[in-house]
């Protein structure tokens, strides 16, 4: 089940959100009574039950907002039980003082917003002994190892248990918990209504991750990065899995650099099918693989890892996708021949993983590549490895390339008013050639300032959406062996990154917002 947590300061807005959630199919709604700013009227809140209700009234020391007396709080909880509410949440220290009554199920909980203690089994045993129908343990993850321990706990216990790690490092426990035996997992009403760190929205859990349908047979894939919350890869891969009716899910894994080895080992033990690999792991994961394609070893970076029996294989689909994009642009310019890139001047902005892959592909095809990034040292290192030229960032306008590739995050949402290559400089370059190609690897937004400037000036433009979808499609083929639904993947990405979508989301939030809250 998916439990949606709502916390509003006024009864009418709590009820409005509850009614909305019941209409869109929420399995369970947690009403946080500690959020209500006035005298709590349980009859009003619990009178018209359209979906099962969990009542919680959390003290500040437990991560809540309750600021009245403890006597009043206990009265609220006892009254909720007396009204026959479906579930009630009781902290460990009060569970023994509130007896079981009627059909209300008791969730005995413990929260720690600082850490995940070592004695998880001991904590669980204490909570289970307090006449618990469900044990809830919610702890802050300070490492991915904390999440691993929490999932292992879920596999061991006999009493129905919700064991989750809060924070971005604990995302996997919220999504995979149901498959490990949790009776339900907590979600948020919307992105601006998150009650606890790391909560995922109900829409994402139901529509994208299809968490209620995850079972022991579900094959897990994902993207490994640090940070990872901004990634749109889960949207397009999960849309493709659903389209092909595959019992597969694609999750975000935030893994700090010092835990990458541990994470890869966990992937092998847990039967993970494959990974998209991005910043900062593209280069360091190479040492953890059993084999890698020649392009990946030449680039010295991997963006895809496939787990097959005992072997971990590495690939670089950035390289393939980028070359496809550039070849398509050359086709549009009616450039012909297998050597049409030979001798062509290219300026690659950035010296990270995607820049490395593109520069490698261009050099393999004989292009004259110059690398320029804000770190001259990194540019020089990459240039030496690929036998090309390095330029200081301030000298990037000193050459007249036929192709400009932006491999930096400059222009990425939310910094949409930035560009790595000034419009007036691009205009000057266009005066010397009518066949300039501008390739921006940023995909959110698709219409970056660089893309807008290049389009306005008449350059041939390659967008980051095209490359992102192409590299994801290659990954999907490696993951599944199936022909990827590219049009669906492209549409999903564009919907997620379009300004219209942002406005619709803002309007939806505004409809449920309350200036008195």
> Is the bond preceding residue 280 a cis peptide, omega within 30 degrees?
yes
Tokens 């005995």 map to which residue?
A: 108
**Active site amino acids:** 111, 136, 282, 318
pLDDT greater than 50 at residue 510? no
> What are the tens digits of pLDDT across the range 284-315?
999 999 999 999 999 999 999 999 988 999 99
pLDDT greater than 50 at residue 509? no
Strand ranges, E, within 273-393: 274-277, 291-292, 304-308, 311-315, 345-349, 368-373, 389-392
Interacting residues of 264 by C-beta distance below 8 A, sequence separation 6+: 285, 288, 305, 312
Rounded mean pLDDT of 359-368? Answer: 96
Q: How many CB atoms are closer than 10 A to CB 167?
A: 18
Confidence of residue 336 (pLDDT cuts 50, 70, 90): confident
pLDDT greater than 50 at residue 508? no
Confidence of residue 498 (pLDDT cuts 50, 70, 90): confident
> Which pLDDT does position 192 carry in this prediction?
87
- Name the nearest CA neighbour of 98 among 281, 106, 59, 114: 106
The answer to whether residues 320 and 470 touch, using CB atoms and an 8 Å cutoff, is yes
CA separation, residue 271 to residues 13, 152, 230, 404 (Å): 44, 14, 25, 41
Rounded mean pLDDT of 241-255? Answer: 98
Q: Distance between CA 154 and CA 165 in Å, rounded?
A: 12
- Name the nearest CA neighbour of 468 among 310, 318, 307, 359: 318
Residue 438: in which H helix or E strand, if any?
strand 437-440
The tokens of 174 are what? 């919220």
CA separation, residue 69 to residues 9, 63, 98, 99, 462 (Å): 18, 16, 16, 20, 62
Fold (CATH) for 2-216: TIM Barrel (3.20.20)
> What are the tens digits of pLDDT across the range 96-109?
999 999 999 999 99
> Which pLDDT does position 149 carry in this prediction?
97
pLDDT greater than 80 at residue 489? yes
Rounded mean pLDDT of 25-36? Answer: 97
Q: Quick check: do 2-216 and 319-468 share a fold?
A: no
Per-residue b or e along 500-513, where b marks 16 or more CB atoms closer than 10 Å to that residue's CB = eeeeeeeeeeeebe
- Name the nearest CA neighbour of 321 among 476, 454, 447, 445: 476
Q: Does domain 319-468 have CATH number 3.20.20.140?
A: no
The answer to whether residues 296 and 311 touch, using CB atoms and an 8 Å cutoff, is no
Q: Where are the domains of the chain?
A: 2-216, 319-468
Confidence of residue 500 (pLDDT cuts 50, 70, 90): low
Q: Distance between CA 8 and CA 485 in Å, rounded?
A: 41
Confidence of residue 499 (pLDDT cuts 50, 70, 90): low
> Which pLDDT does position 339 carry in this prediction?
86
> Which pLDDT does position 322 carry in this prediction?
96
> What are the tens digits of pLDDT across the range 157-205?
999 999 999 999 999 999 999 999 999 999 999 988 899 999 999 999 9
Looking at the DSSP assignment, which residues form a beta bridge with residue 111? 138
The answer to whether residues 53 and 88 touch, using CB atoms and an 8 Å cutoff, is no
- End-to-end alpha carbon distance in the chain: 29
> Which pLDDT does position 333 carry in this prediction?
87
- The SS3 assignment for 49 reads coil
> What are the tens digits of pLDDT across the range 131-143?
999 999 999 999 9
> Which pLDDT does position 309 carry in this prediction?
83
pLDDT greater than 70 at residue 373? yes
> Which pLDDT does position 50 carry in this prediction?
92
Confidence of residue 501 (pLDDT cuts 50, 70, 90): very low
Confidence of residue 505 (pLDDT cuts 50, 70, 90): very low
């Amino acid at each position: 089940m998916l439990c949606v947590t709502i916390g509003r300061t006024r009864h009418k807005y709590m009820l409005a959100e509850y009614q909305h959630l019941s209409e869109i199919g929420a399995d369970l709604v947690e009403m946080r009574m500690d959020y209500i700013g006035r005298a709590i009227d349980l009859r009003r809140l619990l009178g018209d039950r359209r979906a099962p209700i969990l009542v919680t009234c959390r003290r500040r020391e437990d991560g809540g907002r309750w600021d009245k007396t403890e006597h009043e709080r206990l009265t609220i909880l006892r009254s909720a039980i007396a009204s026959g509410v479906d579930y009630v949440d009781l902290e460990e220290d009060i569970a023994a003082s509130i007896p079981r009554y009627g059909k209300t199920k008791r969730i005995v909980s413990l929260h720690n917003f600082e850490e995940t203690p070592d004695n998880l089994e001991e904590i669980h045993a204490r909570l289970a002994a307090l006449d618990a129908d469900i044990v809830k343990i919610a702890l802050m993850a300070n490492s991915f190892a904390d999440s691993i321990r929490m999932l292992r706990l879920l596999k061991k216990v006999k009493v129905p248990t919700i064991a989750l790690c809060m924070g971005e490092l604990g995302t996997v426990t919220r999504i995979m918990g149901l498959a490990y035996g949790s009776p339900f997992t907590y979600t948020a009403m919307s992105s601006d209504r998150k009650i606890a760190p790391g909560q995922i929205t109900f829409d994402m859990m139901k529509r994208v991750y299809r968490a209620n349908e995850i079972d022991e047979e579900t094959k897990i894939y994902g993207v490994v990065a640090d940070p990872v919350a901004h990634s749109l890869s889960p949207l397009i891969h999960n849309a493709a899995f659903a389209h092909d009716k595959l019992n597969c899910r694609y999750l975000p894994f935030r893994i700090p650099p010092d835990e990458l080895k541990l994470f890869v080992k966990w992937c092998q033990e847990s039967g993970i099918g494959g990974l998209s690999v991005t910043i900062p792991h593209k280069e360091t994961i190479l040492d953890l693989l059993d084999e890698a394609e020649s392009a990946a070893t030449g680039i010295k970076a991997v963006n895809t890892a496939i787990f097959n029996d005992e072997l971990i294989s590495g690939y670089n689909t950035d390289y393939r996708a980028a070359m496809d994009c550039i070849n398509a642009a050359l086709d549009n310019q009616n450039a012909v021949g297998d050597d049409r890139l030979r001798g062509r001047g290219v300026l690659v902005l950035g010296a990270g993983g995607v820049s490395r892959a593109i520069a490698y592909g261009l050099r393999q095809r004989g292009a004259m590549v110059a690398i320029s990034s804000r770190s001259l040292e990194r540019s020089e290192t990459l240039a030496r490895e690929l036998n090309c030229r390095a330029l200081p960032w301030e000298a990037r306008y000193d050459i007249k390339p036929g192709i400009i590739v932006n491999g930096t995050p400059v222009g990425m949402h939310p910094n949409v008013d930035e560009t790595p290559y000034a419009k007036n400089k691009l205009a000057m370059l266009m005066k010397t050639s009518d066949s300039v190609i501008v390739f921006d690897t940023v995909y959110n937004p698709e219409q970056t300032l660089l893309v807008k400037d290049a389009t306005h000036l008449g350059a041939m433009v390659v967008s980051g959406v095209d490359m992102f979808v192409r590299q994801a499609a290659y990954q999907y083929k490696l993951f599944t062996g199936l022909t990827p639904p590219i049009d669906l993947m492209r549409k999903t990405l564009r919907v997620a990154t379009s300004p219209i979508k942002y406005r619709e989301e803002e309007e939806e939030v505004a409809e449920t917002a309350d200036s008195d809250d």
